[in-house]
Structure 1
Amino acid sequence: MDIQLSKAAVKWFQDEMMVKEGDHVRFFVRYGGSSPIQDGFSLGVSKDDPIEAVVTTKEEGITFYVEEKDEWYFDGHNLEVEYNEQADGPAYDYNKN
């Protein structure tokens, strides 16, 4: 599994979540909603320090990560985070290795 973020997506996290160099952003499983890879679940995001990060990536000094307990959600897919201008927020795409 891998996490990739566009520059525009990173800027959105900096502006909207006020994250800065040295901060951590967690992608986690939420019950409810839907996604193309897990029916009945969706992806959430929070500003948290990692406990058992299974995958991390660093952009602009910010660590984006997924905890080990949430890895099942991705089912072997990589997470690609783009910025959706119309929704003014992140857009998630999942690609199988």
Structure 2
Amino acid sequence: MEIKITEKAQKWFEEELGLSDGNGVRFLGKIYGESQIHEGFSVGIEVAKPGNIIAETTVNHIPYFIDANDEWFFAGYNLEVGFDEKHQEPEYIFHEIKE
């Protein structure tokens, strides 16, 4: 499982979330909404310190990660985080992992 963050998305996270040393961005599955891979669930984010991670990428010393508790949501997919210009917010694109 991999996480890719586009430059525009990364800048949005830095500007909007006020991240401090040691904190990163955790991607998680949340009830309500929809995602490309789950009906009734969408991608949530929270500012958190990395713990029991299963996927991580670091950009500008900021870790972007998925915790083991959320493996059920992301299993079988790589996550690409882009930026939706129309809504001025991150967008989440899932790429199935081919074995």
Residue by residue, what CA displacement relative to the aligned partner does 1:27-73 show, whole Å, maximum 9, x if unpaired? 01101111110111111001011221111100111000000010111
**Which secondary structure does the structure 2 equivalent of 1:10 belong to?**
helix
Q: Does 1:45 align with 2:45?
A: yes
CA distance in 2, matches of 1:58, 1:23: 11
- Unaligned residue ranges in structure 1 (runs of 5+): none
Structure 1 partner of 2:60: 60
* TM-superposed deviation, 1:85: 1.3
Structure 2 partner of 1:4: 4
**Which secondary structure does the structure 2 equivalent of 1:72 belong to?**
helix
Aligned residue identity for 2:60: E
- Unaligned residue ranges in structure 2 (runs of 5+): none
TM-score (norm 1): 0.93
Identity of aligned residues (%): 34
CA distance in 1, matches of 2:62, 2:21: 5
Q: Does 1:95 align with 2:85?
A: no
Asked if the contact 2:50/2:63 (under 8 Å) is kept, the reply is no
* TM-superposed deviation, 1:22: 4.1
CA RMSD of aligned residues (A): 1.2
Pairs aligned (count): 97
Structure 1 partner of 2:26: 26
Aligned residue identity for 2:25: V
